[in-house]
Structure 1
Amino acid sequence: MHPSASALCFLLRKTSPLIPTYHYFKEEDLQSLKMLEYIVRNQKWQKDGRTASFGYSETSPRSIQVPPVAAEQMLGRLTACRQVFIQSSTRNQLVPFMVKEEFPGTFDMQQTDNDYIISYSAVSYPPKRISLTSYYIWNDRLYKIDPEADRDIVLLFHMLMDTPQGRLPLSSEEVGQVYKQIVAPLEQTEKLEMTESIRASIEEQPLQAKIYLDKKENGLTADPLFSYGPYSIHAVTEQQTPEDKAILVRDTKQEKEILQFIEEAGFHWNGERLILSREEDIALFFLDILPELKKQADVFMSRAAESTFIPPETLQVEAALDPSMGWLDISFETSDLNEEDVFHLMKALKEKKRYYKTIEGGYVSLTSSWMKNLQDLLQDTPVTEENTENKRMRMPSYKTLLLDDKTRESTGWNASATMEDLIRHIRDPQSFEVELPERLNADLRDYQKLGFQWMKALTAYGFGGILADDMGLGKTLQTLTYILSERQKNPEAPPFLIVAPSSLIYNWEKEAHRFTPDLKIEVIHGTKPQRKKAMGLL
């Protein structure tokens, strides 16, 4: 086998004749030969003009040139074979085919007055890559690299080959930046030689990222610092304090991740500091990026910066009920919002915006579960300046139960006593104290009394309801009991209207005379003119 930097060439030697009765190929040898057969066929097709897949021709009757596209697979199959040899490039002899899984040669690091010099041991006779494969040949031996794990080492090697005399000068800062990716892996595999004085100058400390946020007139500013023990480095200017000649090992991967958050937010360098100017960018930074940034770095905010973002959880809300008027008032007990803010905040929620900017320049997130709950309450409720007066939002009282469902586990919500009473009376009608009406000719069962109490509680708070139960459990009796109670409470009130199927009209009349004889009953039925005439006599 003749490996070179561009291709593989196989030389087939003449041996004793092949007798199929006595001779056979081992499986690993057979697979390699089949691969060579495939390559030869492609070369013959090329020669015959049938295809243009490979641009190779036969060099001699006894040699086969492997194209780059097949070289990796061919070398992989040969590693399983025993009788494979390499034609030495320096001696006229064959060398056994052997593969070492490492990068060939070693590197050296030396210190000069101001810099560090990294060089390669065999710059005069460097290893050569075989075609497009992950194999290198050096000193008549093959080396196989891991394209992913050895990527940075290979990159360093090619950089050195492109420099004069194969020497790469680096400052102490530059060595620190590439230490984890290149220097440390070379040391671990014993591929790097350095003096003890260089080793003593290496400072390896965990990264502690710190982001300082402040609010200026023209926007939000950020000052990112990367701290390693007693050393601090500004993320943009790369200014290091204290300054000395130590090699500070840096976690460039985590540094890049942190800087990526800042870049995604839209911060730009104005010559003095990083700044974020656009209103939408500032809002989205607080909403989306800052929570993730806090997982990677310690974030410190000035009072001005803290006031820029108003967490919805800090907005204390008082929910009060006015049963006589049928209103539920939601008031914001906070100095962060004024009366005009409440109106615009509710409109922003109604329009399903992600944030609201207050009159004073603060940002309120409208995407939290707290705000989503408030958004659900606003369905079917118009937002006007009239119903948002005095820093409160006024909505129908029937939304009290929905409010309770949405905020039961939330902090920051405070319910008034009247609201708590409504919730308790509707959810537990037995707690609503009311006497059965006088002159009721029936003994109600416990569940029938509960149904009566529930209807009375609904009436007390201005609600309607549906009494649903199986047939024969006394819905008619419960309803008549409720009507009798309301009539005794307010004799001058308009009449009650019971709408029933024709087949049940007279049953209702019979039951009313039986259980509530004090009620005046009028049956309206017949044709439309007849019903209209009867209605006029009421």
Structure 2
Amino acid sequence: DGSPPIRFIVDERDANSCQITIKGLERMTILNAYQSIIYHGTVYQLEERDFHRIVDLKQMLPSPGTNDIPIPYTQIDHFLEKVVPDLKRMGNVELSRAFREKFMRTPLKARLYLDRIRNRLLAGLEFQYEEVVIQPLENRDMPGSTIIRDVEKEEEILAMMEESGFSKTDGGYLMQNEELEYEFLYHTVPKLQSLLKLYATTAVRNRLVQKKTYPRINVKVKKRERTNWLEFKFEMDGISDNQIREILAALEEKRKYYRLRSGSLLSLETKEMEDIRDFLTTVPPQEQLEPYFSLPVTKGANLVDAIEHKSIFQEDQSFRDFLDSIRHPSKLEFDVPSQLIGVLRDYQIQGYEWMKTLASYGFGGVLADDMGLGKTLQS
């Protein structure tokens, strides 16, 4: 698949015409029955339109030994607007300096206007070359113009609008489907912005919640009886617990977005939302998703690394203090009961302090030693 390497060189010829010189066409063998070309031992299977263009070009050559086709200036408008885009599909088009100076290519300035009225997304599209403004849904012709248009870019923009699911109206586009609107605003608009200038009303800009907006998980450590617990609470500015509960349910269902009470669409496809979904699959399942729950520290130890390195977590001071005590146990001091001072041997004091350290963390442990070495006394 693909086209053979052909060069089309366009230059001035005389006062009344220019010419196109074709490099590579003379080395091609055309296989009409197979809609294919053989070039330097390689077979190229072409699309029907491109194949017929090459056949037509070969037939247009004045004689077998020439590569030049004259183009009268009276036909230059048609050549630039209709022929050059097709030539670019088949190979490399080179315009000489002299030709460019006389028929300078004008950059395309494309503009997209977006607005939301009565739950409908409205879009207007303009193409501009110099002072000429084209409404592509009305009429794309530019009669009498010598401007070299960027037809490929025009077609790319129009194809993206077409694929987005808009309905065409008199001179514009209309969309009244929430899922299609989300796909367009979240996925297609960023691609279009590399091709055109976007003008959007406040209603459109507020339709999508900013990408850095997501529930954050506050992490605390609390002592309950003899066990330390990790407490997790999902928090989001201006969002109630009920909505957070619904957002978590939407994440679990792997939906693409969630509509807030304000009507704004919160994307569930960001990295942060993916991290939250992974977190929910890591912790023990709940009968009903709640914006807050607790785990014994011993069951949440595998989450410590994620809590410290992922932006979805907010560490409470109690959590930071707890980690510091685990990483620096030497900072913890436990006095031997006064009645046992001078009674416990050094290794028994060490065992006593070890068990007190585990107890402070809310952990359990096993003290194993030979019989008669004081495990009961240490306990």
TM range (shorter): 0.5 to 0.7
Aligned counterpart for 2:122 among listed residues 213, 221, 230: 221
Change (3 A) 1:306 1:238: same
Q: Deviations over 1:110-136 (max 9, x none)?
A: 99xxxxx9999xxxxxxxx9872869x
| Among 147, 171, 176, the residue aligned to 2:81 | 176
The match for 2:268 among 334, 357, 366 is: 366
CA pair 182-342 structure 1, distance change in 2 beyond 3 A: same
Instruction: Report the Cα distance in structure 1 between the residues aligned to 2:193 and 2:364, rounded to whole angstroms.
Output: 50
Cα distance, 1:262 vs structure 2 = 2.2
Given candidates 284, 291, 306, the residue that maps to 1:406 is: 306
Q: Is the counterpart of residue 354 in structure 1 residue 256 in structure 2?
A: yes
In the alignment, what sits opposite 1:202? Answer: 103
Query: Judging changes above 3 Å, is the alpha-carbon distance between structure 1 residues 441 and 130 closer, same or farther for their aligned structure 2 residues?
Result: closer
The alignment-based identity, stated in percent, is 17
Structure having the higher strand fraction is 2
Aligned match of 2:203:
304
Matched, 1:420 2:320: yes
- Deviation of 1:323 after TM superposition, in Å, equals 0.8
Please give the per-residue CA displacement for 1:299-322, whole angstroms capped at 9, x wherever unaligned: 443221121111342236361426
Describe the shift of the 1:211–1:424 C-alpha distance in structure 2 as closer, same or farther (beyond 3 A). farther
Please report how far the alpha carbon of residue 435 of structure 1 lies from its aligned counterpart in structure 2 after TM superposition: 1.3
Q: How many residues align?
A: 332
TM-fit CA distance, 1:244: 8.2
C-alpha contact 2:234 2:244 (8 A) present in aligned 1? no
What's the CA shift string for 1:390-441, capped at 9, x where partnerless? xxx4443648656653354444653322232233334x14276341543372
- Alpha-carbon distance in structure 2 between the residues aligned to 1:413 and 1:262: 39
Instruction: Report what 2:166 is aligned to.
Output: 267
| In structure 2, C-alpha distance between the alignment counterparts of 1:272 and 1:218, rounded to whole Å | 20
| Contact kept in structure 2, 1:322 and 1:418, CA below 8 Å | yes
The verdict on how the C-alpha distance between 1:339 and 1:189 changes in structure 2, with shifts beyond 3 A counting, is closer
SS across alignment from 2:334: coil
Measured in 1, the distance between the counterparts of 2:355 and 2:88 equals 84
- Match of residue 368, structure 2, among 456, 473, 476: 476
**TM-aligned CA distance change 1:282 to 1:375, over 3 Å:** same
Q: Is the 8 A contact 1:318 1:330 kept in 2?
A: yes
Which segments of 5 or more consecutive residues in structure 1 lack a partner in the other structure?
A: 1-100, 112-116, 121-128, 136-145, 161-166, 191-195, 468-474, 478-506, 520-538
DSSP 3-state at the match of 1:348: helix
1:246 matched residue in structure 2: 145
What CA deviation, in whole Å up to 9, does each residue of 1:207-254 have, x standing for no partner? 3444333223233233333344555433433469xx884322222223
Aligned counterpart, 1:41: none
| Structure 2 unaligned blocks of 5 or more | 1-5, 21-28, 39-43, 61-71
Distance 1:110 1:370, change over 3 A: farther
Counterparts of residues 366-515 of structure 1 (less than 5 Å): 366-379=268-281, 380-382=284-286, 384=288, 387-388=290-291, 393-396=292-295, 398=297, 405-406=305-306, 408-411=308-311, 413-426=313-326, 428-430=327-329, 433-438=332-337, 439=340, 441-443=344-346, 452=355, 455-459=358-362, 464=363, 475-476=367-368, 507=370, 510-511=372-373, 514-515=374-375
**C-alpha contact (below 8 Å) 1:434/1:453 kept by paired residues:** no
SS of corresponding position for 2:346: coil
The residue matched to 1:517 in structure 2 has which SS? helix
The answer for the alignment partner of 1:517 in structure 2 is 377
After superposition, the Cα gap between the structure-2 partners of 1:119 and 1:152, relative to the gap in structure 1 and judged at 3 Å, is farther
> What TM-score results when the alignment is normalised by the length of structure 1?
0.48
2:213 alignment partner AA: T
Q: CA RMSD in A?
A: 5.0
Tell me: CA distance 1:430–1:253, structure 2 relative to 1, closer, same or farther (3 Å): same
Contact 1:267 1:276 in 2 (8 A): yes
For residues 246-305 of structure 1, give each alpha carbon's deviation from its aligned partner in whole angstroms, at most 9, with x where no partner exists. Answer: 322222223322333222221221334212222221222344333433444444432211
Aligned partner of residue 248 in structure 1, secondary structure? coil
Q: Give the letter for the 1:416 counterpart.
A: D
Q: Cα distance 1:156–1:376, how it changes in 2: closer, same or farther (>3 A)?
A: same
Task: Kindly provide the amino acid, as one letter, of the partner of residue 214 in structure 1.
Answer: D
1:506-526 Cα deviation digits (max 9, x unpaired): x56x34xx255275xxxxxxx
Q: 1:333 aligns with which of 208, 233, 236?
A: 236
